[in-house]
Structure 1
Amino acid sequence: MLAYIEGRLLETTTNSAILLSAGGVGYEVFMTSASLSQLPNKGETVCVYLYTVVREDALELYGFFSWDERQTFILLTSISKVGAKTALSILATFRPDDLRKIVLEDNIEALTRVSGIGKKTAQHVFLELKYKLKTDDISSGSMILSGSSPSVLREAVTGLLNLGYAEEEAEKTVREVLSSTPELDVSGALRAALKKLASLSGRR
């Protein structure tokens, strides 16, 4: 099975790249939209990890810039009713560490952000991920805050979103608040986050 390729970029499509190997063979490699946007100019060298999906009517190659992403893709395709295209859509929306955060925070709703995944499918995928996905090697910056409940973080962030704050700013602020005071409940975390945001706004 092909697991890695280093080749020259010949062409790109809406969902794949054509890579020419040193042996003169061109391979079509399917990739996420995020990975395709990171490709160099035509003619330049591309190095990607590969996973081969064999079906009765096709043999397809899927490419990833990291080994972690490749292994997560394999894990996703091991989930019943999740095919290669759906797994690629999930990885186009969430990085592997994002999926680990979803498991740690019991955030099933986040999976519905993936195109084609409804509430019922999200619950099914989440339960499989919770059983199969290793969360002990998540990067420290993405870890759930020690001493605080995942629901406190999630509900406080939701409260800020309902008040019109951007998701990235809301999550960053709540995490900082819970990092310094992990014993806060939802209302306490929300008040502290609002106070912090008001303070930051006053400095601008």
Structure 2
Amino acid sequence: MIAHIRGRIEDLNEDSVVIDVGGVGYRVLVPGRIIDSIGEIGDEVKLLTHLQVKEDEMVLYGFLNHDELEIFQALIAISGVGARIALSVLSTLRPDELRSAIFEGDLEKLTSVKGLGKKTASRIVLELGEKLVRRVTLPEGFNDAIEGLVALGYSRNDAEKAVKRVLDERGTNVGVEDIIKDGLKHLTSKTR
């Protein structure tokens, strides 16, 4: 497998870049959102890659960081989500926006991606919910608050959602006790 590619940018398009490596030009499909960040023609670039081999072609996909690459690979592992849709997702949503949409079950945001219907968006939420959301790094104290809510009998998923809401509302400068108190308010209002 080709883990990364480094070379000089020879051509830029809205969804691909041609990289010259030792006189050979490699066309690498990339999320359209990152084209402006890659550089300009003549610049040196390094992209992490995923090589997809089919019966009649080999396609190289490129990403600026491991986060994008891992999300792409997680998406294409889902039945009904091909590389084209996965690339479209990463062209539309940054990794943190995607995690947030999955975490919140925000099908509207997910279906704003070209080519992604409600059924497939639901499958993404279901299959990637645990895998991607667990990677969200919470400030110190927030994990303690999640554990506290779980100890009070709430599911980990509900506790994480409640703590995430507190994080969104109050920021990171709040104590564990206040996080739990506000988290409980969200959880009890949800059950009414």
TM-score tier, shorter chain, comes to: 0.7 to 0.9
Query: CA deviation digits over 1:67-104, x for unaligned, max 9?
Result: 12111111110111111010011112223333333333
User: Is contact 1:40–1:46 with CA below 8 Å preserved after alignment?
Assistant: yes
What's the secondary structure of 1:46's corresponding residue?
A: strand
Number of matched residues? 167
Runs of 4+ with deviation above 4 angstroms: 143-149, 151-154, 177-181
Shift of 1:179: 7.4
Unaligned runs of 5+ in 1: 155-170, 189-204
1:140 corresponds in structure 2 to 138
The residue type paired with residue 67 of structure 1 is H
The question of whether the paired residues in 2 share the 8 Å contact of 1:106 and 1:150 is answered with no
Q: Which aligned pairs between 1:22-101 and structure 2 lie closer than 5 A? A: 23-101=22-100
TM-score when scaled to structure 1? 0.69
Sort the Cα spacing of 1:134 and 1:39 in 2 relative to 1 into closer, same or farther, 3 A.
closer
CA 1:66–1:82: 2 relative to 1, 3 Å? same
Distance 1:7 1:153 in 2: 41
Partner SS for 2:111? helix
Which runs of 5 or more residues in structure 2 are unaligned? 150-158
Q: Mark the CA change 1:125 to 1:185 in structure 2 (over 3 Å): closer, same or farther.
A: closer
Query: Is contact 2:92-2:113 (8 Å) kept?
Result: yes
CA contact (8 A) 2:47 2:64 kept: yes
- The 3-state SS of whatever aligns with 2:127 is helix
Corresponding residue for 1:14?
14
3-state SS, counterpart of residue 34 of structure 2 = helix
Q: In 1, are the aligned partners of 2:81 and 2:120 still within 8 Å (CA)? A: no
Counterparts of 1:94 and 1:74, CA distance in 2: 15
Q: CA RMSD in A?
A: 3.1
SS in 2 for 1:8: strand
Please tell me the residue identity of whatever aligns with 2:128: L
- Give distance in 1, aligned partners of 2:23 and 2:119: 46
